[in-house]
Amino acid sequence: MFEGGLDRKRGCAVWHRRGGKDSCCLQLSAVSSQMRVGTIWHMLPTLKQGRRVIWDGIDREGRKMIDQAFPKEMRDPSSPINNSDMQIRFRNGSIYQVVGSDNYDSLVGTNPVGVIFSEWAVADPKAWDYIRPILAENGGWALFIYTPRGKNHGKKLYDMAQANSRWFCSMLTVDDTFRPDGTYVIAPNIIEQERAEGMSEEKILQEYFCSFEAGMEGAFYTNELNLAESEGRIGDYPHDPMKPCQTWWDIGFRDATAIIVTQRGDDGKPVIIDYLEARNKALDEWIRDVRSLPYDYDEHNGPHDLENTDWTTGKTRREFALGLNFAFEIVPKLPVQDGIDATRAIIRVARFDENKAGRLIDGLYSYRREYDDRLQMFRDKPYHDWASHPADAMRYLSVGWRDYVGGLRVSSSKYNVKPAVSGHRKRQKQDYQDMYPWMFNEDGSIRHGPTRDQSKIRQPRLTTKNR
């Protein structure tokens, strides 16, 4: 990657399992730290994983990985190793640090000159969106290392890097890696032994031959998403201005809030035209942002959490939203497994706009079961990480969808789903007072002075719920 200097700033290395990805990148960090003074991050999907794999990791020779890569002669003798922050300072002023991509927004404001995204296929892809402006400004480098985990953001990155001459791109299978003595890193007889012991052929192809075709192990929706892709239901499905839109919310604050925007197709099936997600945004900010989009809504749907009372206001979130003329309907609460079954049914018929709902698709590919290390098996309980938020929003859509699809009602009695709000609902059209409430007085006049003709000012529309 750095042949001839630091001119090549981006790289993607898709190597087989136990191919030495992180060990190689530790050596790369040692070299690059002496080529340019600055901070280098070794970023794992979680901080806990970073400590276990890198900071406390021991190689096959019995050496600590960080001691082998960064000998004492490189380190600043006046600054001992910081075990709590997993940080090493070098004599020339450079810093090496292990961090986690699960807390990427807390890292914004720092100034790394190099970032290694380890296990990228299972990391939160939004971490790169936050960090890339830093590297663009300071001319830093980034390297993504991973083994495939299905057709998620890892495959997209590899396809892009392979076609981009500005990126270093490498794929190494077990047929390509050798030890110094010329023997295979993973010998063919070991793979045959794995196969004889029950390892599936798909898993062998993924782990040892870097195949993107096999889904992530334990993932819930791989088959349904592969079917959608093969049938052309993941592609270009832009907003139709002649049809109303619906929103489906998974509410969070420190955890991300995820919002799916849909329209009903002519066949009654959902068309997902947009996806929004962010952390640390209040409900009123989200309502303002949703209203600012060029969509005409006829309903907004949210989880049962909206009925929780905020002790600071004495109101539920749903009541708070109604005060802003934003009417939520509540999607019934079901067992998670029933919701997953409903999601599988919806994915089989839904269409996705790949341009605007790409993160939603990546999240659905990455949503997987929790693994029990002690029992060596997957639990039925979903694993909670970045993919949980888009998957939860999709689950609420699947449970709450009320149109007939293929002659069958998706919200069937099988899931005990009832319309969240009965009766006639008026479309929640947007007007200037909805979008810019701070510009108007209570009587409808513009705050900086009365208008000449008050009758021409559009008044807020009242829904059936708050009329």
Report the pLDDT value the prediction gives residue 415, as an integer from 0 to 100.
47
Query: What is the mean predicted confidence (pLDDT) over 452-460?
Result: 49
The pLDDT, as a whole number, for residue 408 is 47
> Residue 353: its pLDDT value, please?
97
**260-290 pLDDT per residue, tens:** 999 999 989 999 999 999 988 999 999 999 9
The predicted-structure confidence for 38-58, as pLDDT tens digits, reads as follows 999 999 999 999 999 999 999
What would the pLDDT profile of 31-40 be if each residue is shown by its tens digit? Answer: 999 999 999 9
Least confident stretch, 153-157, 232-236, 251-255, 462-466:
462-466
What pLDDT is recorded for position 428? 57
For the segment 317-337, the average pLDDT, to the nearest whole number, is: 92
Give the mean pLDDT of 76-105: 92
Prediction pTM value:
0.71
Supply 18's token pair: 């136990």
For residue 413, pLDDT beyond 70: no
pLDDT of residue 459: 52
- pLDDT tens per residue across span 184-239: 999 999 999 999 998 888 889 999 999 998 777 788 999 999 999 999 999 999 99
Mean of per-residue pLDDT scores for the chain: 86
* Distance from the Cα of residue 343 to its chain's centroid: 18
**Predicted pLDDT of residue 404:** 44
The string of pLDDT tens digits covering residues 419-437 is: 444 333 445 555 555 555 6
Q: Is the pLDDT of residue 145 over 80?
A: yes
**Domain 228-415 CATH class label:** alpha beta
Q: In this predicted model, what pLDDT tens digit does every residue of 370-388 receive, in sequence order?
A: 877 666 677 888 988 999 9
pLDDT-derived band at 452 (thresholds 50, 70, 90) equals very low
The pLDDT of residue 451 is above 80: no
Q: Do domains 10-209 and 228-415 have the same CATH topology?
A: no
Percentage of the chain surpassing pLDDT 70?
84
- Are 286 and 297 contacting, i.e. CB atoms less than 8 angstroms apart? no
pLDDT at residue number 357: 96
Tell which residue, 4, 6, 5, 10, has the closest CA to residue 166. Answer: 10
Q: Is 452 or 13 the better-scoring residue by pLDDT?
A: 13
Look at phi and psi of residue 77 and say left if phi exceeds 0, alpha if psi is from -120 to 50, else beta. alpha
Give mean pLDDT, residues 99-115.
85
Architecture of domain 10-209: 3-Layer(aba) Sandwich (3.40)
Does the pLDDT at position 259 exceed 50?
yes
In the chain, domain spans: 10-209, 228-415
Phi, then psi, of 40 in degrees rounded to 5: -115, 130
